[in-house]
Amino acid sequence: MANVVVVGSQWGDEGKGKIVDWLSEQADIVVRFQGGHNAGHTLVIDGVTYKLSLLPSGVVRPNKLSVIGNGVVLDPRALIAEIERLKEQGIAVTPDNLRVAENATLILPLHQELDVAREKASGKGAIGTTGRGIGPAYEDKVGRRAIRLMDLADLKSLNGKIDRLLAHHNALRRGLGMNEIAPKTVYDELAAVAPQVLPYMDSVWLLLDNKRREGRRILFEGAQGALLDIDHGTYPYVTSSNTVASQAATGSGLGPSAIGYVLGICKAYTTRVGAGPFPTELPEGDPVGDGIGQRGREFGTVTGRRRRCGWFDAVLVRQTVRTSGIDGIALTKLDILDAEKEIKICVGYRLDGKEIDYLPASEHAQARVEPIYETAEGWHAATAGARSWAQLPGDAIKYVRRIEELIGCPVALLSTSPEREDTILMRNPFET
């Protein structure tokens, strides 16, 4: 019986929410281990749509324990608001089904203000952040000046920590022409949210270790995608955390031996939000790219931003298979390609006249790579709603098999619509 880590194997938005929900039926515990409320998951269950940004996808299922690990940066206001939204949809979130790591770093309003101000000041050099304060909060964590959830339980000792934090932030704000923040402002904000979030606080590393020893199945849910990893992604156009599978151990407090299977999620094509290199991008106005975007509803769950669309890039996915140690792929949105007469797959790159089979680490080299394509026949039939191989057109099966060959990894699950039941299972990650 394996504990399973789910990670995005592209630039995020691969459909992890549906796959995690599908797997969570077999899990006892679902853990978020990195990121913040900058990454959205959309779940469609029995025709009802749930949009989550911070809470683990398992929270919409009864009798499942959801956990927010220490690797997550937590905006307490966003957590409270998301719990209230789910309550309006009939989902009760209580300390019985949600626990939050006591050592999770908090996102404060000053982080969001700094995030927005720096992006604005960067002009054309902006990274394309969501402006949610994620990066500045991680900076404070690494700079050892962060306010953590456990600090709200001892308000008497909070003032000294706030002074240390503001010694850094007020200097930045002066440099950006922003007003300084009074310590009392930060204190009052934290004191106001403390009673609402502290009931969920727990020693998550100990909780998870005990559950693992009891034989409970744990599902680790990543946010964003491996190509946005701070170390292994398309730097500097990345997020502020490690998004590869190994972060599941660090971001939850469990050792790496607790991870039994890594499932990578990728679309049958490629999308990206924000700035940064995208070798197979179909430019805005291209009828194929625009058609994929419309049929795939490629707009951000959190920001509503249009996602850039392009052909499947086997080079990138093969690379993330290696950096995340992916054992199997969940291929999503195959049905979005149903309308295409022919489909291209990127099988390599050309850089300054030389063929290469990986994405170089250099920002400038990444901007210069040109995709090398092979063309596959479209299947001229519907895959939408298929729940078995027998229901798939022959050319669609050929496309999936070719992807497996190119990325060096088997497809374990195949998703053919947003509905959770429209999933073809080849290999159950929990039973490997």
What does DSSP say about strands 308-310 and 370-377: parallel, antiparallel, or unpaired?
unpaired
Report the amino acid identity of residue 61.
R
Q: Is 380 a catalytic residue?
A: no
Report the amino acid identity of residue 257.
S
Report the amino acid identity of residue 60.
V
In the numeric block, the tokens 């070798």 are attached to: 279
Report the amino acid identity of residue 371.
P
Catalytic residue among 13, 21, 151, 229: 13
Which token pair is 47? 């025709």
Q: Is 232 a catalytic residue?
A: no
d(CA 421, CA 417): 9
Catalytic residue among 21, 28, 37, 41: 41
Element (H, E) at 281: strand 281-282
With beta carbons less than 8 A apart as the criterion, state whether 100 and 201 touch. Answer: yes
Mind giving me the DSSP string for 174-210?
Answer: HHTTPPP--HHHHHHHHHHHHHHHGGGEE-HHHHHHH
CA dihedral 183, 184, 188, 194 (to 10 degrees): 50
What does DSSP say about strands 201-202 and 308-310: parallel, antiparallel, or unpaired?
unpaired
With beta carbons less than 8 A apart as the criterion, state whether 106 and 150 touch. Answer: no
With beta carbons less than 8 A apart as the criterion, state whether 61 and 52 touch. Answer: no
DSSP 8-state class, residue 33: -
Which token pair is 172? 């930045």
Cis? peptide before 429, omega within 30° of 0: no
Report the amino acid identity of residue 108.
L
Which token pair is 270? 């490629």
Residues that are catalytic: 13, 41
